């Protein structure tokens, strides 16, 4: 009988930074990425080399080089923990009384290290079970998007350093979602500040918004092993776009000001533009769960207008890149980031 996704699970945990590269904790704290998670791509390559020789048109033998693998996961955003694979461990964690714990993530400018994870996929086969464990997983990119009448969807793309030998075990008690709350478009707010004298103001009639984090990580290989021995990150690239109803000249003014010489005016968007993405379950006390992404150093890449035709709504689309993002997540769980021991 054919098997479906109902016969599988996927879970992950941070690797142990006190051990060798890609080493999981002895007792992992397994987590789901989010609700409705699914694997959209999963591949491994041993970099096969084909050898041939004179006086033959047939391959003579094969040799094998680097083992490289990749896995892509889509899910509905419900918890902030995956952000720790981009920004590192929280720079601060605080709580007060019965309020939710606040975790602050902020990338360090001169830190090229990559925080890795271990992923485990289990499958109940027709004749035997299968469990694959991926070590030294580096999160190459994470995209978060929201649109009217949709969920807050996320997509994560990983490369991994080593795959362990598969086993026939299967965890009947795989990880559950720690937050168990799906953010939707109705739980999102978008704020924008174009000038120094302005305050961050909530933008209404937003149709869609997305943000993508790419740390451009690379696996490092060495002699005497087919497997990666380390990883490093390059330019931390944060880009995004949003669409909203065209109301006035504000955004087109911002992009026109960017190509002027720096005059020191408050309209110099190159220095002063900010935006904020805010997701909340609208709870109270320790039931409050939020993710706030504050971005500064914005460069508007492009502006486009659509709907300038009879009887259609008129929208403007703005694409941007930022220099820095600070993320503050409030959770109703524990003061500590959930990880193994």
What digits encode the pLDDT tens for the residues 91-129?
A: 988 876 666 788 999 988 888 899 999 999 999 988 999
Residue 14 has which token pair? 């941070």
Task: Sort strands 201-202 and 188-193 into parallel, antiparallel or unpaired.
Answer: antiparallel
What is the pLDDT confidence band of residue 255, given thresholds at 50, 70 and 90?
confident
| Residue 30 Rama label (left phi>0; alpha psi -120 to 50; beta) | beta
Helix ranges restricted to H, 113-249: none
What digits encode the pLDDT tens for the residues 313-333?
A: 999 999 999 999 999 998 865
Residue 223 buriedness (CB in 10 A; 0-12 / 13-18 / 19+): exposed
The confidence score (pLDDT) of residue 266 equals: 44
Contact present, 119 and 132 (Cβ < 8 Å): no
Helix ranges restricted to H, 29-183: 84-87
What digits encode the pLDDT tens for the residues 133-180?
A: 999 999 999 999 999 999 999 999 999 999 989 999 888 777 776 667
Instruction: Look at residue 57 and tell me whether its pLDDT is greater than 50.
Output: yes
Residue 117: phi, psi to the nearest 5?
Answer: -145, 170
Higher-pLDDT residue of 40 and 253 is 40
The confidence score (pLDDT) of residue 50 equals: 97
Say what the pTM is: 0.90
The confidence score (pLDDT) of residue 24 equals: 93
Average pLDDT in the chain? 88
Instruction: Look at residue 214 and tell me whether its pLDDT is greater than 80.
Output: yes
């Amino acid at each position: 009988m054919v098997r479906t996704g109902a016969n599988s699970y996927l879970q992950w945990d941070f690797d142990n930074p006190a051990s060798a590269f890609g080493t999981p904790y002895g007792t992992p704290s397994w987590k789901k990425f989010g609700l409705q998670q699914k694997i959209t791509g999963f591949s491994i390559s041993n970099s096969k080399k084909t050898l041939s020789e004179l006086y033959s048109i047939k391959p003579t033998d094969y040799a094998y080089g680097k083992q490289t693998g990749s896995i892509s996961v889509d899910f509905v955003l419900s918890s902030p923990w995956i952000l720790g694979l981009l920004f590192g461990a929280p720079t601060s964690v605080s709580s007060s009384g019965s309020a939710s714990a606040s975790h602050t993530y902020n990338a360090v400018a001169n830190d090229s290290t990559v925080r890795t994870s271990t992923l485990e996929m289990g499958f109940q086969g027709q004749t035997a079970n299968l469990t694959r464990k991926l070590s030294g997983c580096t999160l190459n990119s994470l995209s978060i998007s929201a649109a009217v009448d949709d969920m807050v969807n996320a997509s994560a793309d990983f490369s991994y350093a080593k795959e362990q030998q598969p086993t026939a075990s299967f965890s009947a008690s795989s990880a559950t979602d720690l937050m168990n709350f799906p953010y939707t478009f109705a739980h999102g707010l978008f704020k924008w500040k174009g000038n120094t004298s302005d305050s961050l103001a909530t933008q209404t009639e937003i149709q869609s918004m997305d943000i993508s984090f790419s740390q451009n990580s690379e696996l490092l290989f060495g002699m005497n092993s087919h497997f990666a021995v380390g990883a490093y990150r390059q330019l931390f690239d944060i880009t995004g776009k949003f669409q909203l109803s065209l109301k006035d000249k504000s955004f087109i003014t911002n992009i026109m000001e960017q190509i002027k010489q720096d005059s020191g005016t408050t309209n110099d968007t190159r220095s002063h533009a900010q935006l904020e993405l805010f997701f909340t379950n609208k709870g109270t006390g320790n039931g409050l769960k939020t993710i706030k992404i504050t971005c500064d150093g914005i460069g508007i890449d492009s502006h486009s207008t659509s709907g300038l035709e009879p009887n259609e709504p008129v929208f403007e689309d703005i694409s941007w890149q930022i220099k820095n993002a600070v993320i503050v997540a409030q959770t109703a769980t524990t003061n500590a980031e959930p990880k193994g021991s």
